[in-house]
């Protein structure tokens, strides 16, 4: 992506790379001073912090999907409502998420903040691991 890409294009491409498990490629689209705030879990900073966290988040899952239901853009801010899906064996963990992205003047994501309910995630993980 280039600085001429729209903020929505940058976020869409970033999501495509994350779900393809191309974490190096995803990190190419974030700024060196990225703040990734996974609200119930905590903050990570910079491409390496993001890559480490995402690597832990997706490890053990056979497939990842971010299903975007709605997305809106105001200036350089992209907000989406989505379901993040993680496949373990033949079963899926579905997690409702609201995401906020800020794209800087260089066309890179400088802020990514995800909001979700930790109890939903915990309950889903328990369901998956006890029924496997």
- Give the angle subtended at the CA of 42 by the CAs of 39 and 52, to the nearest 5°: 120
- Domain-located, residue 82: yes
| pLDDT value at residue 128 | 87
Q: What is the pTM of this model?
A: 0.93
| pLDDT value at residue 2 | 57
Range of the domain at 121: 7-131
Per annotation, catalytic residue among 9, 22, 114, 117:
114
State which residues of the chain have pLDDT below 50. Answer: none
Per annotation, catalytic residue among 12, 84, 106, 117:
84
Is 114 considered catalytic here? yes
| pLDDT value at residue 85 | 97
| pLDDT value at residue 60 | 86
Is 84 considered catalytic here? yes
Give the number of domains in the chain.
1
Task: CATH number of the domain at 12, please.
Answer: 3.10.450.50
Starting at the edge strand found earlier in the chain, the sheet holding 42-45 runs: 42-45, 30-38, 109-115, 91-103, 77-88, 63-74
| pLDDT value at residue 44 | 96
- Domain-located, residue 1: no
- Domain-located, residue 2: no
């Amino acid at each position: 992506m280039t600085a001429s890409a729209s903020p929505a294009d940058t976020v869409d491409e970033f999501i495509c790379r994350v779900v393809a498990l191309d974490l190096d490629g995803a990190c190419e689209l974030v700024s060196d001073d990225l703040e990734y705030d996974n609200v119930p879990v905590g903050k990570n900073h910079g491409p390496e912090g993001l890559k480490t966290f995402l690597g832990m988040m997706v490890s053990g899952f056979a497939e990842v999907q971010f299903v975007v239901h709605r997305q809106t853009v105001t200036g350089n801010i992209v907000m989406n409502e989505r379901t993040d899906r993680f496949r373990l064996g033949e079963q899926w963990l579905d997690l409702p998420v609201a995401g906020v992205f800020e794209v800087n003047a260089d066309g890179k994501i400088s802020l990514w903040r995800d909001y979700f309910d930790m109890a939903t995630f915990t309950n889903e993980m328990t369901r998956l691991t006890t029924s496997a």
